[in-house]
Chains A and B, each alone.
Chain A
Amino acid sequence: MRNTMKVARWEIKRNLKNKSFIIGMFLTPIIFLAFLLLPDLLSSDEEAATTKVYVNEGLGVYEQLEAAAANTEWQMEQTDVTEQEAEAALGTEEDAAYVFIDEESVETGQVTVYTNEETSSAFMDEVQILGGPLQMLQIEQLGLTPEEAGIVAQGIIFEDAAVASDDEGLFSESMLERVIPGAFAAVVMLSIVFTGMAIFQSASQEKKDKIAEIILSSLTPADLMQGKIIGYFVLGLVQVVVFIVIALPVLIWKIDFPIIEYLLVPELLVLLLIAILGYLLYAALFVGIGATMADMSTAGNFQGFVMMLPFSPFLFIGPVFSDPSGFFAQLGSYIPFTSPGVLILRLSLLEEWPWVEIIIAIAVLIVSVWIFMKLAGKVFQTGILMYGKNATPGEIWKWIRA
């Protein structure tokens, strides 16, 4: 154990002194924030631009029209330009539209609208609301009684009577309560899984640098392997801390929501346990595979396949979102490689936690972590001293059975 800690300390120190590691560590939260905030910055631009709507009407209903358009982002203005003049003006104006309403419009029910390329794309949908006051005019001209007119003008509405128990939108308060710890656990897991990929690098580098045998003259392969796993775990946590320190203040400022309050709930502990188990599983996988490879660029199909396993939860994202307690969601919770990701996603979505499933899934995870650690130990022991070539799946199988 003492040797394990020495290796762990060394791996931590070595990486923290490495420039590319440091840059990566600070870049991750910055890129994350950039992706989060960039769409915001871009869309705010569009919101500011309002459509200028010139109305040329000869019926005296401008006020009603203006009232009808009260909820739009329009800037309405009365005008008496002719259609030709409007066409000419649109050539130079930005985001503008000309609406021509006259007696004929009421009779035929057709209104001519002139727009140009700059006009906001949603405008033609929005402009339909001007139909209301015109329809009233039509009805009036038909000579109906006010009651009759009222009924006709009301139209027919399809009322949504679905049994919506919690129709509070995707990010209602009760939802955030679960999503925030889940998102946090996901960040923790992603960070340590990505840092864990460095374990793979580190194990194969050990071979490439041919230092393995020198190191192994001082300690056992098990010490070396465990030291690496612990070392990179701590590096992953360092990454998480950096992430939080950089991202959290920005998120709090941007989202304007008591994130901390929702973050520090007991459920977070379960989610973190799942994240850590997930890390250990992938770490075992990476350290074992890393030991079978001479270097990254010569990865065979088999190694490449194993490297993809941490991304396997993405297969389940669709089904889990559409039904967090459905068959695929349960299936994903019981397959060791998808289980951490799927569980964290499910628990963030589900209101009632399926405790039996959670316990079974965690038990499956713990058992697979134990098994994979054992297997990785065997592969590591032999693989780390094999120089110059990649191990074939057949050879790996032999080491495991040895």
Chain B
Amino acid sequence: MLTVEGLGKSFKDKQIISNISFEVKKGEIMALLGPNGAGKSTTIRNIMGIMYPDEGSITFHNSKGKGIPRNKIGYLPEERGLYKNVKVMDILLYLAELKDYPLDRAKQRALDYLKKFGLEGKDKVSVEELSKGMGQKVQFIAAIIHEPELLILDEPFSGLDPVSQELFKEEIRSLAANGTAILLSSHQMNLVEEMADRLFLIHRGTRVIYGPLSDVKKEYANFKCTINGTNSLALLESLPEVERVQQNGESAVLYLSKHIQPAVWLKNLPAELDIQELSIDRISLHEIFIDIATDKNLLKEGAELHA
């Protein structure tokens, strides 16, 4: 649906993003991840033609001619709002009209979605009377009212309560299931982990990780073992295949090296180890993310190997 190749953009002398390449396929949720200021919104604005890239190309497939097929794209920007002193239905219809979507169908869809999002009867209410969450919902409806083939969501969950987050998640999933290509930018890893098919992790304007979520997890997420019990740091560090130990009172987190077999590793634990509780799991996307964002380089070896 969308292919981005070698995208680069700089403001003044500062390179904001460089050599960004990825694609978004029909019916998949592609997550664009990165800490604040990594260049997510810049990438998206370049795709939307709100900014022009200095280098690289952006190709929309199945669109005739050059230029951005604006009518086929739904866009929810990070900085978003609505005109204040107009009615909800008026603004939804205006935005649909700008996309050349037939008005009668837009009206029906707007009513359906308002109902779905618990805003039934709010269509004649002035926008300024809506709460922030309600406003977010209306903006989301505005982004999808014209049945876009490609939906770009920049931080769609910011400022939403858990219930609304769940609502949005479901809706995004069902849109993808119906064949919409979705590019989702976020820094809320737990949500992305649940939804994304593939992800692109961006930091300081360059690619860090790109691939299907499961591969990424396999590739980067080593096992970690959390042990509760009174053990000396020396003992823990002497255990096999332990790369790093983080001890905090009674509890210690052991970061294990790649390619270990958890079962084998567990079997080889010495008997003198005091174990009150033990859990073993993969490092979550959240931890990978924090790691990259704070330059702890827990994954550096893996990333280098991959690159």
Contact = CB atoms under 8 A, between A and B. Distances in A.
User: Do A and B assemble together?
Assistant: yes
Interface of A: 3, 6, 10, 13-14, 17-18, 205, 208-211, 213-219, 385, 387
A211 B80 contact: yes
B82 A217 contact: no
Nearest to B68: A217
Interface of B: 45, 48, 50, 70-71, 73, 75-77, 79-86, 90, 94-95, 97-99, 139, 142-143
A218 B86 contact: no
25 contacts: A6-B97, A10-B94, A10-B97, A14-B83, A14-B85, A17-B90, A205-B83, A208-B81, A209-B81, A214-B76, A214-B80, A214-B81, A214-B82, A214-B95, A214-B139, A215-B98, A216-B48, A217-B48, A217-B70, A217-B75, A218-B70, A218-B71, A218-B95, A219-B98, A387-B79
A219 B97 CA distance: 11
Contacts of B83: 14, 205, 209, 211
A387 B81 CA distance: 12
B98 A18 contact: no
Contact of A385 (B50, B81, B95): B50
> Nearest 3 CB-CB pairs, A to B?
A210-B81, A217-B75, A218-B98
A14 B86 contact: yes
Contact of B77 (A10, A18, A209, A213): A213
A214 B142 contact: yes
A214 B148 CA distance: 14
A135 B166 CA distance: 107
Given A217-B73, A385-B50, A211 B86 contact: no
Given A211-B82, A213-B75, A214-B143, 4 more contacts: A6-B98, A10-B97, A214-B80, A219-B98
A101 B70 CA distance: 97
A380 B146 CA distance: 27
B156 to A, nearest CB: 13
A214 B50 CA distance: 10
A217 B50 contact: yes
A213 B86 contact: no
Contacts of B143: 214
Contact of B75 (A18, A214, A385): A214
B98 A213 contact: no
Which one of A10, A205, A213, A215 has the highest number of Cβ atoms from chain B below 10 Å of its Cβ? A213
Contacts of B95: 214-215, 218
Contact of B85 (A10, A18, A217): A18
